[in-house]
Amino acid sequence: MGWRTATQFKVNLSALIFGMALIVVLTKLSQYLPSQYYFWFSGFLYYHDILAATGSGDAPVPQPANFASLLIKLAIPLITGLALGVLWEDDGIQAAGAAGFGGAFILCWPAIIAWDTFANPAVLERQNQFYLLFAAYIGSFAYLCLAASRLAPGLRESVGRHVKGRLPTEITIDWSKIATELAKSALLGGLSFIIGYVAR
């Protein structure tokens, strides 16, 4: 995307707000799952450190985050991207990346501006590491949301065939763009792994 194209880029505001809100709402709803299915960065990377630092009189520590919780977390931008592409069609696809970015940024924002208040005491000294993790997480959400939105035209056509009885038409899905966005998301996920485990 060149500078001229970037300056003319427009995003449907209602799609953007809906996408960001859906990411936040689904994330908050996931807190009501059993604690081992709620993803939290500190619990995923430093659960045993947090457990060791917690005194007997402190509040109980939730169950450690596991890979199932990570999959649930990653399902949120996928669901959001599909919803945007189905409901807003091309406008939803255009807004999906920004919605994924904005929704994830909102979820990280309290810790970004008030790390000492929101961070677990066991990881207070790892502020820079978590900022890098947040950046990779935000970018990954943006690409996952955008990739899922590109699947929406095919989903919409498939549902239309079965529900409305329309004649079969060719479903056009841009697999190369989806693959590119998934690869970028995977790259950021790999970067998160390096930041979280190698740079401990």
Q: Is residue 41 part of a domain?
A: no
pLDDT for 57: 47
Integer Cα distance of 40 and 66 in angstroms: 9
Q: Is residue 4 part of a domain?
A: no
Q: Sort residue 89 into left (φ over 0), alpha (ψ -120 to 50) or beta.
A: left
pLDDT for 64: 66
Integer Cα distance of 103 and 186 in angstroms: 19
Q: Give percent above pLDDT 70 in the chain.
A: 79
Q: Is residue 186 part of a domain?
A: yes
Instruction: Tell me which residue range forms the domain holding 192.
Output: 11-31+67-198
Q: Is residue 57 part of a domain?
A: no
Q: Is residue 87 part of a domain?
A: yes
Q: What is the 3-state secondary structure (H, E, C) of the chain?
A: CCHHHHHCCCCCHHHHHHHHHHHHHHHHHHCCCCHHHCCCHHHHHHHHHHHHHCCCCCCCCCCCCCHHHHHHHHHHHHHHHHHHHHHHCHHHHHHHHHHHHHHHHHHHHHHHHCHHHHCCHHHHHHHHHHHHHHHHHHHHHHHHHHHHHCCHHHHHHHHHHHHCCCCCCCCCCCHHHHHHHHHHHHHHHHHHHHHHHHCC
Express each pLDDT in 42-94 by its tens digit. Answer: 777 777 777 777 754 455 566 666 788 888 999 999 999 999 999 998 899 99
Mean pLDDT of 143-157: 87
More confident residue, 190 or 96: 96
**Helices 127-149 and 175-193 sit at what angle, rounded to 10 degrees?**
160
Q: How many domains does the chain have?
A: 1
Stated pTM of the model: 0.81
Q: Is residue 52 part of a domain?
A: no
Q: Is residue 50 part of a domain?
A: no
More confident residue, 45 or 131: 131
Q: Is residue 17 part of a domain?
A: yes
